[in-house]
Structure 1
Amino acid sequence: MPEGDTVWRTAHRLHRALSGEPITLSDFRFPEIATADLRGAVTTEIVSRGKHLLHRVDSGLTVHSHLKMEGQWRVERVADTARWLRRADLRAAVGTDTWSALGLRLGLLEIVPTSREGDIVGHLGPDVLGPDWDVERAIHRLLASTTVIGAALLDQRVLAGVGTLWASESLFIEQIGPWSAAADLAPERVEALVARIHRLMDASRHHAVQSSTGVRRRGEEHFVHARSGRPCRRCGNTIRVSMIGPAGRERTMFYCPTCQGGIAPGDDGRPQRPLGSSGGRSNPYRRA
């Protein structure tokens, strides 16, 4: 699922293409809003809130979308739009006389009064990349969490925008075990963790390739994320992956047992194939 930095970059690209211009193309392919027509309205701004996209127009409406696992918004010139409109996975098209924004495989799409945006994003915690980012509030929410730190980072009600990539990478860099109880961590460690997350995501939002190592060459971008079965860049032992979070909402967490305080509670310790290796396909639990 795209994380906050990717969604921020998407909002920035859409805003540059559409803001200040009248909408001339309005095509929504979600049943609940299939008859909506925004033609004639002017885009005032497109912003991100955590992993949510908010496209505001001067008629007092907001197009709210969420990319979920596979969604994306593309920006194409009007001359190239027709072929995209024929795609079966197109869910929305909003355009001007110059540019078209094309929403593919969107996980959620709705139109709401701009005055009611709080109903859909008001529950979110501090947005790591938001203009109202509040470090102290973020630290307080993490320390007040009743779950483990890895799950707390992934809870959008605690912090908005963090996903499995930045949770895994930041916890590894700060040498914190993902299954450590959040409330038991020293405040200074949580403060360092929050600062690390903000630095990583703030730097990443300006690049198409997400990197925590500072290197954007393929295969060298991350310390632990998607590297299960491969050697740790710090200690040389094997990176592992296990599930984290409440039942029904588990997410994958990559970690180094040696650098981060031991093996996960649900990890049986059996060898895990590197992702993408023969027979492993995309299953992070495929074992040798």
Structure 2
Amino acid sequence: MPEGDTVFLTGRRLDEALAGRTLLRAELRHPRLATVDLAGRDVLGVATAGKHILTRFAGGLTLHSHLRMDGSWHLYRPGERWRRPAHQARVVLAVPERVAVGFALHDLELVPTAEEARLVGHLGPDLLGAWTAEDEAEAVARLTADPDREIGLALLDQRVLAGVGNVYKSEVCFLLGVSPWTPVSGVDAARAVRLSRKLLLANATRPVRNTTGLMGRGQESWVYERAGRPCRRCGTRVRVAGQGAGVQERTSYWCPRCQPGPIA
């Protein structure tokens, strides 16, 4: 599933292409929305909330979409060939000079803008949104509400923090110096929140994610997708294991020396 920075950058590019322009064509290829015609409406803007994308139109309507595992938004010039099959397109929004196509979008819904909270109101503080001391305090409070929960699972819970995905979960745990299975009570929760926001902000406007600050291909991450390779700090082999159960299971990467604590 895309990380919050990927969704943020997607929303930003859509906003730059569509905001302030009038829809020449608007196709919502979803059974519930197939008869809806938005052509002629102005696009007011595109915003993100965690991993949710909110496209707002004149007349008080918002199109909500979620990328999940395989969804994506592409921008094209009129007449340009699409990079994914047409049968995967769920939304086509055309304005003068640009065409936005949403492929394999999930949770597609058109709602009154005033009711957006019904779709995103459950989220924790958005790490890439407007941020205040109150937001940080709320995020810490949500993170520590269940002190026995594994930190790796807590960081992924969008009701706690909106935006962290599996990459940042593993990288934040490495930088905290704890295994992903460490209970929240054994972690500096405020530091975990600040690190999560710092890493997401650092990557919010660039297409190639980097959490190490190291230059060069293959040096972008500390432990993520580095199973069996030497830890960048101590040389110990990075390990990998599943964390969570059922549909919530995700892969965790960690260095057993740099990140002491419980393991799978």
TM-score interval, smaller chain: over 0.9
Shift in Å, 1:84: 6.5
Does the CA-based 8 Å contact 1:229-1:239 persist in structure 2? yes
Matching residue of 2:68: 68
SS of the residue aligned with 2:127? coil
Matching residue of 2:201: 202
Greater Cα shift, 245-254 or 125-134 = 245-254
User: Do residues 141 (structure 1) and 148 (structure 2) align?
Assistant: no
Match of 1:179 in 2: 181
Matched, 1:31 2:31: yes
Alignment of 1:50-89 (within 5 A): 50-80=50-80, 87-89=86-88
TM-score by length of 2: 0.93
Residue 197 of structure 1 and its aligned partner are, at CA, apart by 1.1
Bigger drift between 21-30 and 47-56 goes to 21-30
- How far is the alpha carbon of 1:60 from its aligned partner? 1.0
Q: Which residue of 2 aligns with 1:19?
A: 19
> Which residue does 2:44 correspond to in 1?
44
Report what 1:115 is aligned to.
Answer: 114
Distance across 2 between alignment mates of 1:262 and 1:227: 19
Instruction: State the match for 1:3 in structure 2.
Output: 3
TM-score (norm. length: structure 1): 0.86
User: C-alpha distance in 1, partners of 2:215/2:189?
Assistant: 27
Give unpaired runs (5+ residues) of structure 1.
Answer: 266-288
**Contact 1:143-1:185 within 8 A present in 2 as well:** no
Q: Aligned AA for 2:54?
A: L
Indicate if the aligned counterparts of 1:257 and 1:263 stay in contact, CA closer than 8 A.
Answer: no
The sequence identity of aligned pairs, in percent, is: 42
SS in 1 for 2:32: helix
CA distance in 2, matches of 1:151, 1:85: 33
Which residue in 2 is equivalent to 1:279?
none
2:178–2:261 contact (8 Å) kept in structure 1: no
Counterpart of 2:158? 156
Alignment RMSD: 1.7
Which ranges of 4 or more aligned residues in structure 1 deviate by more than 4 Å? 83-86
Distance in 2 (CA, whole Å) between partners of 1:84 and 1:24 is: 21
- 1:178-215 per-residue CA deviation (whole Å, 9 max, x = no partner) reads 11111x235xx221221111111101001100110113
Larger deviation: 155-164 or 242-251? Answer: 242-251
Does structure 2 retain, via aligned residues, the 8 Å contact 1:210–1:216?
Answer: no
